[in-house]
Structure formats: C-alpha cells, structure tokens
A and B are shown apart, each in its own frame.
Chain A
C-alpha cells in the first residue's frame, strides 16, 4: 500500500480540537456557538470524504508527529479500515450535532458550551483512533476519548450522574491501565515495534500462551467494546443526555472499543497467526457469551435507554464474533455490522430522546399508545429495530447474513445458532415497544392533545438515519469496498 505523507489526516483530527476555541469563545451567543459546531462537523466530514478516493484506489496517507520512543512514534495513517470508521463516525456527528441543538434547546439544558466543547474533543479523539498508525497513538486517543466524554456522561451533575461517572472512569481507565498498558509493553518487548501492519507483527515472535494472554488482555483492556464482564459502565452511562448516549454509546465510544479490538486482530496479531494457534475460539466464546447474556438482560429492562444499552452490548459482540470466525465472510459481516448497527442504534436512541422531549417518558411500560401521536418517531424506531434484528430490506440484514455465511464457512455451526437465537431475542425486546406504541390503549397522559411530535431539529436527523438503514441495504457499495480491502489484506 502506497502511503503518501500528508497533513490532511492531522487536519481531520485537529479540526474539532481547534474548534473548541471558537465554541468556548461564543459562550454568550448560542446561535453562533451552534453554528460553529455544525460547521466543524461538516468540515470534518468533508476532509475525511476528500481523502476517500485515494484510499479506494489502494493508497492512503500518513504523517509522523513525533518520534517519542525508539521504534515508536505518534503517527497517523489513513487506510481502508480507518477510513471506513471515520466516514461513518463523522457523518453521524453532523446529524447528532443538529439533533443536539434541538434537544438541548427544548429542555433548556445547563452548561451547553461545555457540552459542545467536550463533544468536539471527543470527536477529535474518535477520528484520532480511526487514523492511528500504531498502538501507542491509538492508546493516546483512546484515553483522550475516555476523559473527554466524562463531562458529557456526568452532564446532569446530580448524585446519579456522579456515581455513573465514577463507574464510567473506573471501568475505562482501570482496564486500560491494568490490561492494555502491560499488553502494549509486552508487545513492544517481543517485537520492538507497535506499528499496525497488515498480517500482524507477532508472528514467530511469541509462543502460543503469550499470544493468548495478549489477546485476552487486549479484549478486556479495550473495555469500550463492553465485552462481559467489563460492560457495567455502559448501562450506567445512560444517565447522560440522549444525544450523548446516542452518539457516543451508539456510535463513537463503543465503536472505538470494537474498532480497536478489530485493529488488533487484523493488524497486530494477524488472522493467520490466530488461525494457526486456534485462538479464534477465544474471541468467539467471549463474544457469544456477551451476545446471549446481554440480549437476555435487555428483555428485563423497563427503562428504554437501558434496554437499548444492553442491546448495544450484545450487538458489539457480534462484530467481535465475526472477527473471531476468521473467515472472509465472517470478518466482512463483523465489520459491516459496525456501520449498520451505528445507523440503527443512533436512530433508536434519537427516538428515545424525542419521546422524552415530547412526552417526558423514559420507561417502556409508560409508553403505550404514544406511537399514534408520534408516528414519524415510531416509524423510524421500527425501521431501525428491523435493521438491528437483521431483517431485509434493511442494512442489518446484510451484516447478519454475512455472519451466518461466515460461520458456515468456518464450520462453526454453533455460532450460526448463536446468531439466529440472539436475533430472535432482539426481536423479542424490540417488537413489543413498537407494537404497544401503535396498537395498545393509550396509558395515562399518552392520549392527550399536548403530546405532539418532537421538534423538527430532532425529527430530521432521526429520519435521515432511519432512511440510511434502508439505503445501506440497497447501496452498500462504498462501505463494502472499503471492507473488502481490509479483509483481503
């Protein structure tokens, strides 16, 4: 792969970091501040999209920022996998920003400047993770993401937010210092480098038990992927305002975790090494347990956001499951689910937020009959949930189908069962929400005239994302192309 040195990757990362300054400065003028946020998100997406053509042709970009340790630098690299993630994340940020404006204004939330500024830094970190060229840089941006999302998670600043924030950082920082850091040092000691290389850097450098240890350390170390038992932070983080939950915990934070694990699998360990040592089983076992348990727990949750949180935990492990299958179709499915789930989950969360704004309800048992008063919202919810369950003609079908094919290719029929059973569980926890919304008798307060659809600034983004779920089924070409490039290398 021919990587051209360029400043553009740095620009893509820095644009929102630098954008914090105008956001902070326009604290007293909300319209200007909001305009900056949207402008920065558009700018970020434009830069990333501009880098796309070169990547599609098999090229890429790189830039080295500082040689800090012998053999390891802080460096950025734009390749197919990074481009894939960055595209999805930055596009969804634009929509989330618009939604945030509507949400925050409707609820007249406090500390909005801090909110937008933290979001900008978090986005910077997300794109930084996507474009990291080696494990150290990834670790740097990973931590930056944990820290910059703390003010977002604890936005409400009440006692519940405080304990949620504590749990959040304990899980995320604790696992990264206790697991990821030693793993990183071990890899460096064994290979002398931390660079991401297609085919992995560990082949021949370590024995089977060391590689297994590293794999386990890294899967749990990247706790943002919410592999059980280190998933507890995710439901706790639901105390955050809905745009935070939707974006960060549907798209950015959790996907960073899975992305990091997948980067490790493809570019540090190498699928060849994992296949030789039969370590795919480790990944699929951990993932399957998480998928099934999370889906079961989701059934018991009454709070809508918590149900969605457990759904997310399950869906994330699908991606790890796909990677663990070590077959081309499985890996494709895992990677594809990253974007399909992103679009689907963000829609679901945005709908949850819209319901909260319009009716001030957060528990599913209280939401009977709301669908009739909020048809657009519930319609989007329905589409998105179909995508996540994996039904055609929605995008999620493609990724789940790929996973099943991958499992069959690898001769792992047990995994086929896991995928199918969990999809049925997904249906079990999603359909009642829609059914009761449309067809049940209205609960107290849900039939009254005061309940109208959410503000337009909220409706438009969630409609767009829902439509994308549909569109990605029909035209997944760009994304698929990027994924094929990753899988084939």
Chain B
C-alpha cells in the first residue's frame, strides 16, 4: 500500500464494503455486524495514518486516476481535511459499535440494507472532506443526502413523511448549490477549487459572481440547517432510527459547515467576502446570533429529549457559522475547534439517548424519572456531555466557546457574544431539567427505599455503553488536549491574514 493512497482506501473501503454487506447480508445476518465494524476500523486506521502523515509532512494534493487537474478530479489532503477525515472515521466507528446493537433490535430483517446505506453515507462524507473540485462536492453531497433520506425513512412512525420533507428541502439546497456552481463555471470555465481561486480575483466581479456566491452559500445553509432554513431538521433527526441518528446527527451538519469554510476560503477569498461586501458579514453574524437564541428558546419548549437535542444542534450550527463569519483568527479557530467538539458532544448525547431508548422506548421527559438509579453509567456520560454543552472546563465545549467569545469580542459583535452566553445559560437550564427529572425518584420508590437496597440497574447492553463511555472520556481528553490541537493542526487551517 502506497502511503499516499491511504486516504483513498479510507474512502473506498466503506464504499465497496457497502455492496459486500448488501450481498453477504442476504445470506448470513450474523455476518453483517463484524463486516461493518471491520470495514470501519480499517477506514479509521487509514485515516489516522493519513492524519499523522500530514502532521509531520504537511498537506498534499492527489489526482484521482491520474487525470491531471484541472480536468480531472483533485483531492486535497491538508491539515483541516485530514482532521475532518479523522473525525468522520472516528465518529463513524464509535457510532457503529452502538448502531450494530440498536439496529439489530429495531430492524431485524433489514439490517444489511440499513448498513449498506450507512456505509455509503460514510463514504460520501469521506469524499466530501477530501475533495478539491466544486462539482464533486455537489455529487458527494447528494450521495450523502440520498442515503440519509433512506436511513431516515427506516425509522418508526412518521419518519417517512419527515424524510420526504427533508427530500424536498435538501434537494432545494443542493440545486441552489448546483446553480451557483453553474454560474461560476460560466464565469471561469473551471470547476477545480484551486483554479477557481486563481481566476476569481481576476474577474471583474459584479452581479454574476455575487449571485453565484449567494446561491452556493444559501444552498449550503439549507443543508446545514442554518436558521431560518432549519425547519426540516427537528423532524428528520427525531424520527430517524437510533442507529442512524448516532451517525448522522454528529456528522452531517458539521461536514456541511466544513464545506462552507472550504467554499469561502479555498474558492473565494476573505478579501472578497469581508472587504468587498462588508455589509454581508454583519447580517450573517446577526442572523447567526438570532438563530442561536431562537433555537435555544425552542429547545426549552420541548418535552421530548430527542427533539430538544435536535434544536440544540441548530443552535450549535449558529455558533459555527457565526464564528467563521467573524473574520478573525480567534473566531475561525473557535469555529473549527467547535466542529470537532460539537461532533463529539452530539455523538455522546445521541449515544446516550440511544442507550436510554433501548430499554425505555420513548424519550418523553416523564419516562426519564429515576434514570440515574437504573442507568448510572449512561446518565454519568450524559452529565459529562451536558457539561460540555454548557461550557464547563475541562470538557471540550468550554474551550471552543472561549475562542468564539474572544473572537466575538475582538470583532465587536456583541449580539453574537450575548447569544453565546445566553445559549450557555439556556443549555444549563435544559440539561439541568433533564438531570433533575432523572435524579429524583418517584415518590413510591423513596418511601420503600433504605440505605442498602440493591440497585435495580438495568443498563443498556455493553456494546452500547462502550462507545458512550469512550465518547464521554473523549470530551474531557480533547478538552485537555486543546492546546496541542490548536497549535499543531487548526492553526494551519486559519486563512492567512486573519
């Protein structure tokens, strides 16, 4: 294996493996889980190797199939890209350990079909974080989205309707992006990101270029559920089967935010967005702040744990978009750091939800009473994730908030700073409410209790607890490792001149 092909192996293995799973799974249901885990472990190992290589040797560009750029499709593996690839494969592997268990329970006969879609989705995400071609982004985005539509539809109850709504809105977003790319192609004649970056500054910018930028960005915003284009997300993410939610919720919106960063800084330049069209920045950061506040407010109104978490995802997207558009190094660092941190936090939260749902079924707040006693490990992990969402050191959530706050103060965006603090307080209220319900037992239990009663512990199966504990530990570990992470990786992803 050539060292420089590793990232391709990380991408190709899930892709090819998906079809293998589909075929083999028809004959032997028991082979599905080991196959999935094996494939994703290999993919993770490859991504890790690439990451270490980039850390020591710097980034590199890669041509697929030896068709040279700008005609062929080029991949760019730099610090940000390899970090994202590591994140995607790591989260996918951790999620799949839990998914294998919950899908076996929810979707007995169709496991192999579920995991076919699952693996293709992961392959699509790998591709998205690697590609350096604008049109390729569209294709991979749709690959990821279509499989997501399918995965959502496998859920229970009204999942099909939510999926259809997502189809409509998601396609709108993708089409907007395609339209924008179309304009760019007409203007520049190329679709390679590096080439575009070279040619765009030489154009006499005008309405066409601005329209192209606007269409692309709005398309991406629809895909990442940026307020107020977020309406599809709560339903879609709540109705997904748990095995899919633990993969999709942490990754899809974050990868789309990564795409926005790539689009803004690898195709267009900071000069274009922030200097030539200076007013736009104010509007975007303002909308981001508004989105954070509104999403947090809507989260308070929810009576179901899963739906509450989906609104928090929308608020977190607001953090990151605002952070990127702050146009300074602190904000950018905070946004990229938050991509990593939020993926881990969402992973931990949804793994916990999945573990609770395994035995409890629904996740309405009344069902959560006394949960600390019945599922101590799960609740402990949930508490760690909650602390990270609130922003309590040493969990990772604190440090990305720190950078974002610093960036906001430096840019003078006080609305954004206020929204961040408001969101922390709201998160504290939200999670405290859940924890309080889970902590206090029902009155009868207290009456019969004594000092030495045996714990009626009915924890989730070990296969679901292990990734959960790992994710919770990662929240603290990544938090403590923030210094090296920023110093050695993220620093290179911040555009020059910030």
Which A residues lie at the B interface, using CB under 8 A?
A: 28, 30, 65-70, 73-74, 104, 108-112, 136, 139-140, 143, 147, 151, 154, 157-158, 162, 165-166, 169, 173-174, 177-178, 181-182, 185-186, 188-189
Q: How many angstroms between the C-alpha atoms of A158 and B436 in the bound complex?
A: 12
B453's closest neighbor in chain A, by CB? Answer: A110
Q: Is the CB of A68 within 8 A of B451?
A: no
Q: How far, in angstroms, from A107 to B449 measured CA to CA in the complex?
A: 14
Interface presence of B319 (CB below 8 A)? no
**Total contacting residues, chain B, CB less than 8 A:** 34
Q: Is A69 within 8 A of B424, CB to CB?
A: no
Distance between Cα atoms of A68 and B425 in the complex (Å): 23
A189-B432 contact in complex given A108-B450, A140-B393, A158-B446, C-beta closer than 8 Å = no
A42 to B390, CA, bound (A): 35
Also in contact, A177 and B483, with CB within 8 A (given A111-B451, A154-B439, A185-B409): no
User: Do A174 and B425 touch (CB < 8 A)?
Assistant: yes
Chain B residues lying within 8 Å of A166, measured Cβ to Cβ, are 432, 436
Closest Cβ of chain B: how far from A68's Cβ, in Å?
Answer: 5
Stretch of B112-120, B228-236, B339-347, B399-407 with 4 or more beta carbons under 8 angstroms from chain A = B399-407
Which residue from A111, A162, A177, A189 sits with its C-beta under 8 Å from B406?
A189
> What are the interface flags for B425-439 relative to A under an 8 Å C-beta threshold, 1 for contact and 0 otherwise?
100100010001001
For B479, what are the chain A residues with a Cβ–Cβ distance below 8 Å? 68
- A28, B452: Cβ atoms under 8 Å? yes
Q: How far is the CB of B7 from chain A (nearest CB, A)?
A: 29
Give bound CA distance, A395 to B483, whole Å: 46
Q: Is the CB of A110 within 8 A of B402?
A: no
Inter-chain contact B421/A110, CB cutoff 8 Å: no
Whether A174 lies near B428 (C-beta < 8 A) is yes
- The answer to whether A177 touches B424 (Cβ under 8 A) is yes
B275 within 8 A of A: no
Interchain CA distance A65-B406 in the complex, whole Å: 23
In chain B, positions 474-498 with a C-beta closer than 8 Å to chain A are 479-484, 486
**A69 CA to B485 CA, complexed, in Å:** 10
Listed A/B pairs (21) with beta-carbon separation below 8 Å: A30-B452, A67-B483, A67-B484, A69-B399, A73-B483, A111-B449, A136-B393, A140-B393, A151-B439, A154-B440, A162-B436, A165-B436, A169-B432, A177-B421, A177-B424, A178-B425, A181-B421, A182-B405, A185-B409, A186-B409, A189-B406
Instruction: Report the separation of the CA atoms of residues A208 and B253 in the bound assembly, to the nearest whole angstrom.
Output: 45
User: Pick the contact of A143 from B392, B440, B486 — CB < 8 Å?
Assistant: B392
Enumerate chain A residues within 8 angstroms of B428, measured Cβ to Cβ: 169, 173-174, 177
List of B residues within 8 angstroms of A177 by Cβ: 390-391, 421, 424-425, 428
B394 in the interface (beta carbon within 8 A): yes
Look across to chain B and name the residue whose beta carbon is closest to the beta carbon of A104.
B451
A331 CB, nearest partner CB in chain B, Å: 30
A425 to B452, CA, bound (A): 45
- In chain B, residues 441-482, which have Cβ atoms closer than 8 Å to a Cβ of chain A? 441, 446, 449-453, 479-482
Tell whether, in the assembled complex, residue A109 and residue B451 are in contact, meaning their CB atoms are under 8 Å apart.
yes
Say whether, besides A68-B483, A181-B421, A140 and B394 are in contact (CB < 8 Å). Answer: yes
CB contacts (< 8 Å) of B480 on chain A: these are: 65-66, 68, 74
Please determine whether B393 and A185 come into contact, CB atoms closer than 8 angstroms.
no
Contact of B402 among A111, A112, A173, A185 (CB under 8 A): A185
B387 interface contact, C-beta 8 A: yes
Per-position contact with A for B318-338: 1 when CB-CB < 8 Å, else 0? 000000000000000000000
Chain B neighbourhood of A110, CB < 8 A: 449-451, 453
Complex formed: what's the CA distance from A16 to B481 in Å? 24
The binding surface of chain A is classed by DSSP as helix
Bound CA–CA A157/B446 (angstroms): 8
Which residues in B have their C-beta under 8 angstroms from that of A140? 392-394
What separation, in Å, do the CA atoms of A383 and B214 have in the docked complex?
A: 76
**B409, B449, B483: which contacts A69 (Cβ < 8 A)?**
B483
**A143-B393 contact, Cβ under 8 Å, with A68-B479, A169-B432:** yes
A88–B390 Cα distance when bound, in Å, is: 32
Docked CA distance A109–B449 (Å): 10
Which residue of chain B lies nearest to A73 when distances are taken between CB atoms in the complex? Answer: B483
Contact B451 A112, beta carbon cutoff 8 Å? yes
B481's partner among A28, A30, A66, A181 (CB-CB below 8 A) is A66
Are A182 and B432 closer than 8 Å at their CB atoms? no
Query: Given B406, B446, B449, B452, which contacts A188 in the complex, CB threshold below 8 Å?
Result: B406
A74 CA / B486 CA spacing, docked (Å): 16
Complex contacts, B425 vs chain A, CB 8 Å: 174, 177-178
Q: Mark B375-409, 1 if CB is under 8 A from A, else 0.
A: 00000000000010011111000010010011001
Given known contacts A66-B483, A157-B446, A189 and B409 CB-to-CB distance under 8 angstroms: yes
> Shortest distance in angstroms between A152's beta carbon and chain B's nearest beta carbon?
12
**Cα distance A441–B391 in the bound complex, in angstroms:** 56
Find the B residue at minimum CB distance from A67. Answer: B483
- B contact residues around A30 at 8 Å (CB): 452
* Complexed CA–CA distance, A163 and B327 (Å): 44
B contact residues around A139 at 8 Å (CB): 393
A109 to B486, CA, bound (A): 48
Q: Within the complex, what minimum Cβ distance (angstroms) separates A327 from chain B?
A: 35
Q: Which residues of the other chain, A, contact B393 by a CB distance below 8 angstroms?
A: 74, 136, 139-140, 143
Min CB distance, B65 to chain A, in Å?
A: 43
The closest CB in chain A to the CB of B399 belongs to: A68
User: Which residue of B has the minimal Cβ distance to A189?
Assistant: B409
Residues of B within 8 A of A158 (CB): 446
Q: What A residues does B391 contact at CB under 8 A?
A: 177, 181
Closest chain A residue to B401 by CB distance? A181
> In the assembly, what is the distance between CA of A89 and CA of B425, in Å?
31
A354 to B63, CA, bound (A): 79
Minimum CB–CB distance for B375 against chain A, Å: 15
- CB neighbours (8 Å) of B409 from chain A are 185-186, 189
Tell me how far the C-beta of B429 lies from the nearest C-beta in chain A, rounded to whole angstroms.
8
List residues of B (76-130) whose CB comes within 8 Å of A's CBs: none
Q: How far is the CA of A165 from the CA of B399 in the complex (A)?
A: 27
Given contacts A157-B441, A158-B446, A166-B436, contact A108 B451 (CB under 8 A): yes
B394–A182 touching, CB < 8 Å: no
Chain B residue numbers with a CB within 8 Å of A111 are: 449, 451
Query: Complex: how many Å from CA A147 to CA B402?
Result: 21
Contact of A162 among B387, B440, B453 (CB under 8 A): B440
Which residues of A have CB within 8 Å of B440? 154, 157, 162
Closest to A111 in B: B451
Question: CA separation between A182 and B421, bound complex, in Å?
Answer: 9
Q: Which of B391, B394, B481 has the most CB of A within 10 A?
A: B394
Residues of B within 8 A of A178 (CB): 421, 425
Q: Are A69 and B451 in contact (CB under 8 A)?
A: no
Chain A residues near B439: list those with CB within 8 A. Answer: 151, 154, 157
Closest Cβ of chain B to A137, distance in Å, is: 8
Q: CA–CA, A21 to B358, complex, Å?
A: 28
CA distance A157 to B441 in the complex (A): 8
- Among A69, A104, A143, A157, point to the contact of B482 (Cβ < 8 A): A69
Known: A139-B393, A173-B428. 19 other contacts (CB 8 A): A66-B481, A68-B482, A69-B402, A69-B482, A108-B451, A111-B451, A143-B392, A147-B392, A157-B441, A162-B436, A166-B432, A177-B390, A177-B424, A178-B425, A181-B391, A181-B424, A182-B421, A189-B406, A189-B410
Set of chain A residues within 8 Å of B394, measured between Cβ atoms: 66, 68, 74, 140
Nearest residue (CB) in B for A162 is B440
State in angstroms the CA–CA spacing of A354 and B240 once bound together: 56
A237–B162 CA distance with the chains assembled, in angstroms = 46
Which residue of chain B has its CB nearest to the CB of A151? B439
Bound Cα distance from A109 to B421, whole angstroms: 40
Measured CA separation A188–B403 after assembly (Å): 11
Residues of A within 8 A of B453 (CB): 110
| Interface pairs A-B: 4 shortest CB-CB | A67-B483, A140-B393, A66-B480, A68-B482
Q: How far is the CB of B385 from chain A (nearest CB, A)?
A: 14
Query: Do B387 and A147 touch (CB < 8 A)?
Result: yes
Give complex CA distance A30, B451 in Å. 10
| CB of A167, distance to nearest CB on chain B (Å) | 12
Q: Which residues of B contact A108 (CB under 8 A)?
A: 450-451
